[in-house]
Amino acid sequence: MLAELLRRRPDCKIWYIDASKEMITRAKNKTGTAPLVQFIHGTEDDIPNSIGFNSVITNFYLDLFTDQQLKNVVHRIKMSLEREAIWIVTDFVDGHKWWQRLMLKAMYKFFRIACDIESKKLPPWNAVLLASARNKIQSKSFYKDFIKTACYRF
């Protein structure tokens, strides 16, 4: 996604934050030496206080947290947003279908073992963002309503 964003908007200044050094290395390899990309190895806690973002994209990130952790993560990211900023989220949703619940259960079990995440279930990321944002601009569902992309204005 980073390479495509740079292709479409080469003048865009981007802060790429990831807790995985391997993911940062992959992103750097795909983008070359894009001078307007700042790479930070860390999490939302490592966002410099002096930065104000006009947009944020979190793909398959908010599902990693417990309900309380999610509220803290959203609050921390929100504090780095400028007025009228947008936040685009893509993540899993529970569409209350048996196969989605089975997939979520299997995924959470796997990631608790493989990645040591604390969460055992999908947190209500859409509700938490709705409560924190000024409004939801639009959303679209994919994969039979198992994945959702939503855009919120702050």
Digit-coded pLDDT (tens) for 103-112: 999 999 999 9
> Residue 62: inside a domain, yes or no?
yes
The CATH number that applies at residue 82 is: 3.40.50.150
Look at residue 30 in the predicted model and tell me its pLDDT.
Answer: 87
> For the ranges 48-52, 76-80, 122-126, 142-146, which has the lowest average pLDDT?
48-52
Mean pLDDT, range 57-65, rounded to an integer: 96
Is residue 28 situated within a structural domain?
Answer: no
pTM (predicted TM-score) = 0.90
Lowest mean pLDDT: which of 13-17, 30-34, 68-72? 30-34
- Residue 77 forms part of a structural domain: yes
Q: What is the pLDDT of residue 74?
A: 97
- Give me the helices (H) in 91-151, please: 98-115, 125-132
Overall number of domains in the chain: 1
Length of the chain measured in residues: 154
- Angle at the Cα of 5 (from 143 to 78), degrees rounded to 5? 80
Q: In the predicted model, is pLDDT for residue 10 greater than 80? A: yes
pLDDT at 78: 97
Structure tokens at 145: 């309503």
Assigned domain for 105 exists: no
**Domain that includes residue 63, residue range:** 43-91+124-153
Inside any domain, residue 27: no
Read off the pLDDT band of 32 (50, 70, 90): confident
Tell me what the pLDDT averaged over the chain comes to: 94
The percent of residues above 90 in pLDDT, for the chain, comes to 86
- Would you say residue 103 lies in a domain? no
Type and span of the H or E element at 22: helix 21-31
Q: Dihedral of CA 28/29/31/33: which sign? A: positive
Residue given tokens 């908010």 in the structure block: 62
**How high is the pLDDT of residue 31?**
85
Do 136 and 130 meet the contact criterion of CB atoms below 8 Å apart? Answer: yes
Q: 63 in a domain, yes or no? A: yes
The encoded tokens of residue 44 equal 């939302």
Is the residue at 145 inside a domain?
A: yes
